[in-house]
Amino acid sequence: MDVSSGTASERRYGSQVPDRYSLAASPRLGLVLVLSLAFLPGCGQSPVAPGGATPRLTGYVYEVMQPGAGEPPIADVVITVTEEDGETSTARTDGAGFYSVQAATGTVVVTASKDGYKTRQSRFDVTDSTVLNFSLRPTD
C-alpha cells in the first residue's frame, strides 16, 4: 500500500509550502517584510548627499508676478551664499533664471541681487541640498 505523507499541496505540487499558507498571502511574511525594510540603512530617513558631498543650493529667480505678464525668469542675477564664518560662494542665473551654488552645512544667508531689482535675502540652516526660489520686484 502506497502511503503519501505531507499536506495536499505538498503531494500535488511537490512543494514544502503548507496548505494554509502561501508566500503571497501570508500575513506573517508581509509583516516581516515591512519590518525588514524599516530597518534597512537609510529607510525612513531624509536623503543625504553621498559620501559627505557638499550640499548645493539650487533654484530659479523670477520677476514678481505682474497681471498679464506671469512670472518671467530673470537672467544674470547674482546669488551670494554667506556662511557663518564669513566665507562666500557666488553664482549667476542662466537664461532660464536657474542657479546652482555650493553651501556648507549650517546657517547661511543667501542674497539675490541684480541692478534694476530690489535685493532679496533669505537666512536658513542648510542640512542637505536644498531648492530655494526667489522672486524679485523691479525698483521703482
pLDDT in tens, 66-124: 777 778 999 999 999 999 999 999 999 999 999 999 998 999 999 999 999 999 999 98
> What pTM did the predictor assign?
0.62
Q: Tell me the mean pLDDT in the region 50-55.
A: 72
Look-up of cell digits 526660489? 133
- Provide the residue ranges of all domains of the chain, joining segments of one domain with +: 1-45, 53-136
Q: Which CATH code for domain 53-136? A: 2.60.40.10
- Residues 7-27 have pLDDT tens digits of 444 445 454 444 444 444 444
Contacts of 43 (CB under 8 A, 6+ apart): 37
